[in-house]
Amino acid sequence: MSKSVLVVGSGGREHALAWKLSQSNDVSKVYVAPGNGGTTLVAENVDISFTDVEGLLNFAREEQIDLTVIGQEAASEAGLVDAFNDAGLSIFGPTKAATLIESSKVFSKDLMSEQNIPTAQYKTFSDATKAFEYIKTRSLPIVIKADGLATGKGVIIPETLEQAEKAIQDIMIDKIFGEAGGSVVVEDFLKGQEVSMHALTDGTNSVIFPPSQDHKQVFDGDKGPNTGGMGVIAPLDWVKPEQISKIQEKVVSPALEGLKKKNSPFIGCLYPGLMLDGQDVNVIEFNARFGDPEAEVYMRLLDCDLYKILSDCAAGNLNPESVKWRDGYAATVVLASPGYPGDYPKGLPITGLEEAEKLDDIVVFHAGTALKDGNFVTAGGRVLNVTATGDTLQNALDKAYEAVKLINFEGMHYRTDIGQRV
């Protein structure tokens, strides 16, 4: 068979998805819209933005794309799946209505409450004075979340009442996150270890991936501001099979049932961010897509045909048994631009990529890169995801850091303590 696939997005996640899809025996052609410098190594880039629904629809029709795979959540929020469904085209991802589980924190918390999904106690507000009155009745630190998508920056965790008052003012009145801050969720602070889980689902059947752990803060020791993610490890031995079953039963299944009840069944990758504290499991949030950089380690560990399982999800007939994993561990270390997560320069030449990829078990997934005169240059905040597999977690980490040493661009920075938290 010679199927063609379109991946929508431009990050390291999309490079990893395109890389794995290109290995499928069924797939003869992979496109990425808009892609990045690295996606050209495994696919053809198409210059269409991921929110250009008409443009993507026309492209998929003209090129007779067999399956479109959404990486970037903004595409689902823009209604890409709804448009493809109407046109009778096959697509992996949730509808705009099902994407609300990620795109509205108020919707998501209310769904959790309706379905008895364990999560921090909360209230939602569209009135700043009432929000602050409530905060005064809770203990500190407290968590304040802008309702809408705010590119991973819409959460503030004040330690004092003065900070909380300022956060409410910033989000709800001065609208530093724009309309995303029209309403807020105020919730109790959870302690513990953050864990990422992913579940692949066709709307009815679902299968859960091994647990993984991202490292959000920019500096070693979990210091500094949050980023899109600085490194990931998987699987996590300390998350026991009983806890994974509990997450399936108490988190994933009820969330999918809840969306079905609302006539918006979820097809795609449901990714709950969780806080684990001893036996306690609480949901921090739901995402409606693969994590980035989680997808990078998952694609290295997946031991089955990605095209087959994603097209089965899209067609509503996923066989959970068909999702298989290789033994061992994977680790990703993110190499970031100078200044990230703040402002950063672009266009810095990158060296050492070929040398790094010559090492055993290394794949470098590109995020913010572009091709300039045949050479890779930086083009974003998170630039590269150096990804290794190994028999042990330490072995995977050692290989990843060995490869990192060979790569360079001016002002490059990365965390040196990925995988050392537990």
Ligand X SMILES: Nc1ncnc2c1ncn2[C@@H]1O[C@H](COP(=O)(O)OP(=O)(O)O)[C@@H](O)[C@H]1O
Alpha helices in 186-285 (DSSP H): 241-247, 253-261
Toward Mg ion, which CB reaches closer, 22 or 287? Answer: 287
Binding status of residue 154 toward ligand X by CB under 6 A = yes
Residue 190: which of Mg ion, ligand X, none does it interact with, CB under 5 to 8 A by kind? ligand X
Residue 369 to residue 383: CA distance in whole angstroms: 6
Contact between 103 and 81 (Cβ < 8 Å)? no
126's tokens? 């569209």
From residue 272 to residue 291, what is the string marking binding to Mg ion with x (rule CB under 5 A)? -x------------------
Toward ligand X, which CB reaches closer, 52 or 296? Answer: 296
Contact between 372 and 330 (Cβ < 8 Å)? no
Interaction residues for ligand X, span 170-189 (CB under 6 A) = 187, 189
Binding status of residue 413 toward ligand X by CB under 6 A = no
Residue 154: which of Mg ion, ligand X, none does it interact with, CB under 5 to 8 A by kind? ligand X
State the DSSP code for 210. Answer: P
Interaction residues for ligand X, span 86-125 (CB under 6 A) = 120
Residue 155: which of ligand X, Mg ion, none does it interact with, CB under 5 to 8 A by kind? ligand X
Residue 157 to residue 144: CA distance in whole angstroms: 6
CB 148, min distance to ligand X, A: 10
Alpha helices in 119-170 (DSSP H): 128-136, 161-168
Residue 227 to residue 23: CA distance in whole angstroms: 31
CA distances to 71, 72, 224, 266 from 17, rounded to whole Å, are: 8, 11, 30, 20
Contact between 3 and 335 (Cβ < 8 Å)? no
CB 273, min distance to Mg ion, A: 5
CB 265, min distance to ligand X, A: 23
Torsion of CA 265, 315, 274, 261, to 10 degrees: 10
Binding status of residue 216 toward ligand X by CB under 6 A = yes
Residue 5: which of Mg ion, ligand X, none does it interact with, CB under 5 to 8 A by kind? none
CB 86, min distance to ligand X, A: 29
Total binding residues toward ligand X, as defined by CB under 6 A: 14
Instruction: Write out the residues near Mg ion by the rule CB under 5 A.
Output: 273
Instruction: Write out the residues near ligand X by the rule CB under 6 A.
Output: 120, 143, 145, 152, 154-155, 187, 189-190, 194, 216, 273, 284-285
